[in-house]
A and B are shown apart, each in its own frame.
Chain A
Amino acid sequence: MLLRCYHAAMSRGDQPAAADAWEQLSVNNFDRIQQTVKLFRFSAGGRGIPDHEWGSAVSEAYIRLRGMGTHFRKQEVEAYYAALVQCVQNSCKDFGRKEFRHIKRSAGSLDQRFDPESETGPYDAALVSWEAARREQSADDIVDELHKEWAETFVAWGISQIKNDKHRKVLELTYIEKLEADEIAERLGISMDNVYARRSRGLREVGKILREHGS
């Protein structure tokens, strides 16, 4: 909703309104930035940002994200999330470079991979597939308006690619209806243990799909 307000304001040239919408969007996603910084790892299972650098990395990522508000063109909230993830990762890698330099007394291997002007993010390939799927899908195929709106989101597309029906159903209830675990258990008539397991496994599947272009 805020992203729509932002684009509507941008298209009518109302910079203050666009800035306000982007500012609110940033505030609403502050926790996402903070938690993502804490979870960031330079390699799978490897080290993350040192504890004493978390605050600085969060601050830098947050400020950089705020700065993106004058030129962000993508309309979908998932594209915003993907840009946020990329912005946080770039900020974290920058802090990692500092750490590497400190340890190795050199520029560090991260320098060799880093391209500050690169716009390639971890979800780009899947975003392209999603766009293609949207173009192919006839609006008449989807009758219910709410379901149509949901089905048009990137995450929904990713979830729809999950082959295991049980995992897919639990994720739909988690993301669409935002049901808590006990409510999902009641709705589907399954145990809490099953909800925990299906949520976790489904999440891994959809994460893989969204990063690896889908099946």
Chain B
Amino acid sequence: MSTVREQVLSEFIDAWNAGHRPDVDDYIARVPADEQGELAEDLLEFMAFAPTPAYSEEALAAIRAEPVVAETLSAAAGRSGLLPTLLGRLRERFGMTTDDVAGQLVGELGLPEDRTPKTAGYLERLEQGNLEPARVSRKVFEALGKVFRVPANELEGAADVGGRSAIVRARAAAPVFRADEDAAAAAGRHLEVIADALAAPGAGPRDEVDDLFLGGR
């Protein structure tokens, strides 16, 4: 004789395999309170190695529309990959400001404390997607991994996901690019700004923080 818990588990398995996207909460709510913990354990056993359902196009579209999936799909197409998204979430979870992270990072990297503001500036650029992650040293990823307690290769991987593919895609698209007739005039003023910036004296000599964030891996 089966129990209600066993029947509900079985119904969840059938719904999962059929690609109906069942929600564990709905099923757990159907069994008496004293059996809910056991059902949750059974569902977890199943979920670990459950066959991936053959989702319908409609179901896949619904999954792609889930906020985090949509966000990562769009972030992966960007220059900085998923790193800005991940850094922001980790920092938020730890309830830290960028300055807090920079303070710990400086410690992990063995840098003098007075390098904290400059490090915070680079971190801010990274989180805003304004710094190419490929330029950041592996040592920074390792130190960030220690600060946030995540494997460094997950951070590095998040940086590489979109970064690399976006670069390759951009290269592939180049042959079909044609500049508009007024492109020279439009780009000219930007080039002048860049030229001015390059000609202007720097705020100081390049130091170890610059090397860590601009020197590449």
Q: Are B18 and A16 in contact (CB under 8 A)?
A: no
A7 to chain B, nearest CB (A): 16
One of B58-66, B200-208, B209-217 at the interface: B58-66
The one of B2, B5, B73 in contact with A193, judged by C-beta atoms closer than 8 angstroms, is: B2
Interface centre among B21, B49, B86, B150 (most CB of A within 10 A): B49
Select A199's contact among B6, B69, B155, beta carbons within 8 Å.
Answer: B6
B48 to chain A, nearest CB (A): 5
B1 nearest CB neighbor, chain A only: A193
Q: Are B51 and A178 in contact (CB under 8 A)?
A: yes
CB closest residue in chain B, given A58: B68
Among B2, B64, B149, the residue within 8 A (CB) of A196 is B2
A60 touching B90, Cβ below 8 Å: yes
Chain A residues numbered 6-23 whose CB sits less than 8 Å from any CB in chain B: 15-16, 19, 22-23
Contact of B157 among A28, A56, A71 (CB under 8 A): A71
Subset of 13 A-B contacts with CB under 8 Å = A23-B76, A27-B60, A27-B69, A35-B23, A59-B68, A66-B82, A67-B82, A67-B154, A68-B153, A95-B93, A116-B146, A117-B152, A203-B9
Binding site for B on A (CB under 8 A): 15-16, 19, 22-23, 26-32, 35-36, 38-41, 44-45, 48, 55-56, 58-60, 62-64, 66-71, 77-78, 81-82, 85, 87, 90, 94-95, 97-98, 114, 116-117, 123, 154-155, 158, 174-175, 178, 180-181, 192-197, 199-200, 203-204, 206-207, 210
Given known contacts A60-B93, A63-B89, A71-B156, what 14 new A-B pairs fall within 8 Å (CB)? A15-B168, A19-B162, A48-B40, A63-B68, A66-B161, A67-B157, A87-B154, A95-B93, A174-B13, A193-B1, A196-B9, A200-B9, A206-B45, A210-B49
Give the A-binding residues of B (Cβ under 8 A): 1-3, 5-7, 9-11, 13-14, 17-18, 21, 23-25, 37, 40-52, 55, 60, 63-64, 66-69, 71-73, 76, 82, 85-86, 89-90, 93-95, 145-146, 149-162, 164-165, 168-169
